[in-house]
Amino acid sequence: MLLITRELPQAVAMRAHAEHEVRALMLTGPFEPDHLLAHLENVDAILCTPSDKFDATLIMKLPQAIKVIATFSVGLEHIDLDAAAARGITVCNTPDVLSTATAEMALTLMLMAARRAGEGERLVRAGRWTGLSPNFHLGTGIAGKTLGIFGMGRIGRELAGMARGLGMVIHYRNRNRLSPDLEAGAIYHADDDQFLQSIDVLSINTPGGDATNGWLNAARLAVMRPGAIVVNTGRGSTVDDDALIAALRRSHIRAAGLDVFNNEPHLHPGYLDLENIVLLPHIGSATLETRNAMGFLALDGIARVLNATGSPQHISRRDVP
């Protein structure tokens, strides 16, 4: 039996029901481990989401019959991988299929932040638009500017390709330098300060984790060019919220666009009264095509484990793009 924690896209749900006996919790609010544990009789597979935290305590309480946890996400921060490995539970995620959609969102945020699109939309809705003038609502263009990509994985490389179409020069900061074919002419930096001093727009595309927790802090913001733009479609944990808010308030950072936040969905209240920021509700992968592909990939992983048609491997953090 497959237990599904939350509502899935229709096509994914139909396939799940066709392939498995399904128990659907249809959660809409906070994840409660005890509620999950009360519904695991005869269950051998779980399909969860990033909103469902499988820490070591919960994993150690799972019935012995559980063979696989598949998550409707690329990120694995909500699952204790070591605990799962200790229990012999395979963990599957959904890499590759959301790269283009998330890169599109990063580009959307770049354009919206640079052209003050969120502020303009609010102006029109409030009935405060009084007409055009030469200095009305001036933003800045991104064509021909220098884009810095922090995290040149699959999503970062997709974004780089899109940005080249706008004539942007690509710099990147990565754990390791890419091969020349993957770099495609992008300029690698092994040093944070050198990287940040070289760019007009920063796009954060890292998967998160301890190594990047609070990476964009006050010191790193201070070395960025005055008037630079910051966008984040990676993980909210990469940004020091207080530091970014302070930089936006004094206009050292011209504008920002965020699709991810610390403590989602309860973002830092300091963002809410800023005009020079675009705030979106973690919808980087939210296209019908992408969400269907994610669900199908999760079901593929579950089938592979339950049917023992491959050699299931426990996913480690190194495997996350």
Per-residue pLDDT at 227: 98
Q: Are 92 and 196 in a shared domain?
A: no
Within this chain, do residues 87 and 24 fall inside the same structural domain, yes or no?
A: yes
Write the DSSP assignment of 92-105 as a string of letters. E---STTHHHHHHH
Residues 140 and 253 in one domain: yes
299 in the same domain as 266: no
- CB-count exposure of residue 133 (10 Å: 0-12, 13-18, 19+): exposed
Tracing tokens 């779980």 back to the chain, one arrives at 46
237 in the same domain as 118:
yes
Q: Are residues 150 and 177 in the same domain?
A: yes
Residues 126 and 57 in one domain: no
Cα separation, 229 vs 246, whole angstroms: 14
Yes or no: say if 181 and 175 are a contact pair by the CB < 8 Å rule.
Answer: no
Point out the residues that are catalytic: 235, 264, 282
Rounded Cα distance, 89 and 184, in Å: 39
Residues 228 and 152 in one domain: yes
Q: What is the pLDDT along the chain (321 residues), one digit of tens a residue?
A: 999 999 999 999 999 999 999 999 999 989 999 999 999 999 999 999 999 999 999 999 999 999 999 999 998 999 999 999 999 999 999 999 999 999 999 999 999 999 999 999 999 999 999 999 999 999 999 999 999 999 999 999 999 999 999 999 999 999 999 999 999 999 999 999 999 999 999 999 998 888 999 999 999 999 999 999 999 999 999 999 999 999 999 999 999 999 999 999 999 999 999 999 999 999 999 999 999 999 999 999 999 999 974 433 444 333 333
Looking at residue 226, its pLDDT comes to: 98
Residues 138, 67 share a domain: no
The candidate with the shortest Cα–Cα distance to 72, out of 297, 306, 320, is: 297
Q: Structural domain tally of the chain?
A: 2
Q: What is the pLDDT of residue 15?
A: 97
What does the alpha-carbon distance between residue 115 and residue 106 come to, in Å, rounded to a whole number? 14
Q: What is the pLDDT of residue 313?
A: 40
Q: CATH number, domain at 65? A: 3.40.50.720
Q: Are residues 161 and 135 in the same domain?
A: yes
Looking at residue 207, its pLDDT comes to 84
pLDDT value at position 69?
Answer: 98
Positive or negative, the CA dihedral 116, 122, 124, 129 is negative
The pLDDT, as a whole number, for residue 163 is: 98
pLDDT value at residue 244: 98
Angle of the 10-19 helix axis to the 288-306 helix axis, nearest 10 = 20
**136 and 194 co-located in one domain:** yes
pLDDT of residue 309: 40
Domain that holds residue 142: 99-279
Residue 61, helix vs strand vs coil: helix
According to the model, what pLDDT value does residue 318 have? 31
Q: Are residues 36 and 143 in the same domain?
A: no
Nearest to 11 by CA among 284, 288, 306, 286: 288
